[in-house]
Structure 1
């Protein structure tokens, strides 16, 4: 069995070009000869190829909004079915959870100024910052993945998922899975709730004071463009912030919780907009909680 490599491939640098998919396979950049996502639901994704096959893709260079696989008619290449969070899509979601780097290559048919005129070009390492479910241009459900470019040497040399090397583990810089923003709005929400989680009620204290996190219901920035206002922010403990961002818990219109028992704790000074709640529920849970850690083998 071939050992999966996460990170750059030794001897290959960003900007290197390759004649075809066979060449990408031979050097280890992207092992599959056809699939656009390399990886498994258990291990995570190590590589993707942008080939221009999905109309909903967006490539801004440092930020890529990538459409997951599945649901296309192989004869017409048109979307004919809803995508599911399985196989390659689950692999990318798993990489988000584990914080694994993903190699990105662009094919000549991909409509980007960074794409080569022929063959494929290696574009470097990215991290999966977010993923969600939405209706694509075809009118069918698709999974979207927001990938953000990693700075040089962030992950160091490529790493193998085995135990070949012994001795102390090498130290390396890693990234968090979400931004913990401390805006005036975030501070106000925390103070209103006395730093108690609106889902579980837990209040974390330390010698330096109480701690909680502000979770934007509709995420900030492209492509979600959520506003940084009180009605779009929740006060959550770190555990429920992560679970909320990953779609493992959400909220019904009556403020009962999905994925856990209870009801969202509210305060008369902090109104929560149902429009944002519905946006999160539709894109991050598809109307139901997705069993994130029930990985599907390939």
Structure 2
């Protein structure tokens, strides 16, 4: 463990405690970084702040997809100017993942509205890093590092395995050295994927035939919010298409069964041409149109300019 890191709960700090600024969080010991979103370095990370700093972040309450630090234009949430590297805080979160160390999550008022405090910062409990991966941004081709964090003890999410769709145990245990940690995983995900493979075959709904290894089971309604697997509310999508779909950069227009892409993706050489393309699945196998419409409307709301 790195010197100075304080994993787990902090004496005198309870879930829900509010802090007006970074100085107050530093003084309490809940987040020791002076201004960054990740506390720690290459030897580990003990806390993060989720505050809307990166447009790629996704917050579903008990499950967070967190974007690593670096690479972003300091004057823009969306524009990147360089690849992120697996150093400093990014390396620290990867180390926390490898060592199964809990990470304190603090939310700021600029994060997802439904999960964020009205002002300042709020300590929201311990999360485990269950998955780490690099990802290429469709908008500009720069690489970012992504971290999936799951609230310990209450959340349900995919286990960090080489194939997260293949795990359906209630609990998965990792042992390394002297540490053992348990996190809950998404029960039924494997059956959900198998059901979609039976329904659609080896076909990505957007791009067409694809190897089984790259096809993922996509929920039209966020699993973290509904915690249910409905084949009528699922699609098989190629892994990169799945990422775009979940990020709200790609949706489906049920009035024409065609693909819609976000405005900032339309000039992309690979994904721009998908706009207006017919789905690669027959009409009679279409999933629930209401779920598709809800996803489409939610995606479009994110494309509107902020006032």
- Output the TM-score relative to the length of structure 2: 0.51
What does the per-residue CA deviation read over 1:86-140, in whole Å, with 9 as the maximum and x for residues that have no partner?
A: 1111111111111000000011111231211111000100000101111235422
Q: Distance in 1 between matches of 2:184 and 2:145?
A: 18
1:84 maps to what in 2?
A: 85
Instruction: From the superposition, tell whether residues 108 and 218 of structure 1 become closer, same or farther in structure 2 (CA, over 3 Å).
Output: same
Q: Distance in 1 between matches of 2:219 and 2:128?
A: 16
Instruction: From the superposition, tell whether residues 276 and 70 of structure 1 become closer, same or farther in structure 2 (CA, over 3 Å).
Output: closer
Q: Does residue 23 of the first structure (1) align with residue 24 of the second (2)?
A: yes
2:59 maps to what in 1?
A: 59
Assess if the C-alpha contact under 8 Å between 2:129 and 2:147 holds in 1: yes
Instruction: From the superposition, tell whether residues 76 and 276 of structure 1 become closer, same or farther in structure 2 (CA, over 3 Å).
Output: closer
Q: Distance in 1 between matches of 2:91 and 2:215?
A: 22
> What stretches of structure 1 of length at least 5 have no aligned partner?
153-170, 187-215, 226-274, 280-298
Q: Distance in 2 between matches of 1:174 and 1:86?
A: 25
1:142 maps to what in 2?
A: 144
Instruction: From the superposition, tell whether residues 47 and 118 of structure 1 become closer, same or farther in structure 2 (CA, over 3 Å).
Output: same
Assess if the C-alpha contact under 8 Å between 1:20 and 1:120 holds in 2: yes
Q: Distance in 1 between matches of 2:28 and 2:11?
A: 9
Give 1:175 deviation, angstroms: 1.7
- Output the TM-score relative to the length of structure 1: 0.53
Q: Distance in 2 between matches of 1:120 and 1:68?
A: 19
Q: Distance in 1 between matches of 2:219 and 2:65?
A: 9
Equivalences for 1:64-213 in 2 at 5 Å?
Answer: 64-76=64-76, 78-136=79-137, 138-139=139-140, 140-151=142-153, 174-175=181-182
What does the per-residue CA deviation read over 1:50-101, in whole Å, with 9 as the maximum and x for residues that have no partner?
A: 1111001111100001111100122445321111111111111111111000
Q: Distance in 2 between matches of 1:182 and 1:108?
A: 33
Higher relative contact order (CA 8 A, sep 6+): 1
Q: Distance in 1 between matches of 2:239 and 2:110?
A: 36
- Figure out how many residues of one structure are paired with residues of the other and give that number: 187
Assess if the C-alpha contact under 8 Å between 1:79 and 1:138 holds in 2: no
> What stretches of structure 2 of length at least 5 have no aligned partner?
155-177, 194-212, 224-237, 243-307
Instruction: From the superposition, tell whether residues 63 and 104 of structure 1 become closer, same or farther in structure 2 (CA, over 3 Å).
Output: same
Q: Secondary structure at the match of 1:26?
A: helix
Which ranges of 4 or more aligned residues in structure 1 deviate by more than 4 Å? 176-186, 216-223
Q: Distance in 1 between matches of 2:98 and 2:215?
A: 19
Q: Distance in 1 between matches of 2:28 and 2:95?
A: 24
Deviates more, 1:88-97 or 1:130-139: 130-139
Q: Distance in 1 between matches of 2:34 and 2:41?
A: 15
Q: Distance in 1 between matches of 2:48 and 2:192?
A: 37
Q: Distance in 1 between matches of 2:3 and 2:184?
A: 28
